[in-house]
Structure 1
Amino acid sequence: MSVFGDNLTMLRKNREYTRPQISDIIGVPWTTYRSWERGIYEPRIEHIIKLCKLFNVSSDELLGLKKLKGSNLLIKPDANEEIEDEK
């Protein structure tokens, strides 16, 4: 999976949505949404915007450039590894 896909999956599950529910909300086939979670394809910018609004996160958070709200993990984008947030 990709950082984006991992974040997308975590956000969906934390909010107790199904893949078909999310795909209906943002207007794509559920198989397309599934391919985003699996890291097979990446969404177009208009879908990223809809996802950010739905999950109430910034694009930096969704894409793994900043840690997700409520998460104590920071995603290291270049290595695709989770590292503990330094305080």
Structure 2
Amino acid sequence: MIADKIKMLRESKNLSQTDLAKKLGITRSSVNAWEQGFSSPSTGYLVELSNLFSVSTDYLLGLKQNESLDISGLDTEQMKILYELTEHFRKENHK
């Protein structure tokens, strides 16, 4: 589960395994091992990953199924538009 989330988040930021490894100061093979499920990141790396990808550690660990989105810096109208769009997608997914 964590393996899939790390890979999905890495790809969503258009990062290669090498790019992510450099940001974390580890080897590419360590990132690969995480994504293949051969090993799991330590607590310290979980925190770094959550900060890098703007998600909670609970989300990475599969304890919480929803993601968070940083909307700081948006005005009220922009936040309203995002909320309405989110609700639209939820309704579409439940048809």
Q: Same fold (TM over 0.5)?
A: yes
Gaps of 5+ in 1: 71-87
What residue number does 1:28 align with? 26
**TM-score, scaled to structure 1:** 0.74
Residue type at the aligned position of 1:52: S
What residue number does 2:63 align with? 65
Structure 1 residues 36-85: Cα deviation after superposition (integer angstroms, max 9, x where no partner): 01100111111111101000000010111111427xxxxxxxxxxxxxxx
**TM-score, scaled to structure 2:** 0.68
Query: In the alignment, is the contact (CA less than 8 A) between 2:3 and 2:36 conserved in 1?
Result: yes
What residue number does 1:11 align with? 9
Aligned-pair Cα RMSD in Å: 1.6
Gaps of 5+ in 2: 69-95
Number of aligned residues: 69
More helix by proportion, 1 or 2?
2
Higher RCO structure (Cα 8 Å, ≥6 apart): 1
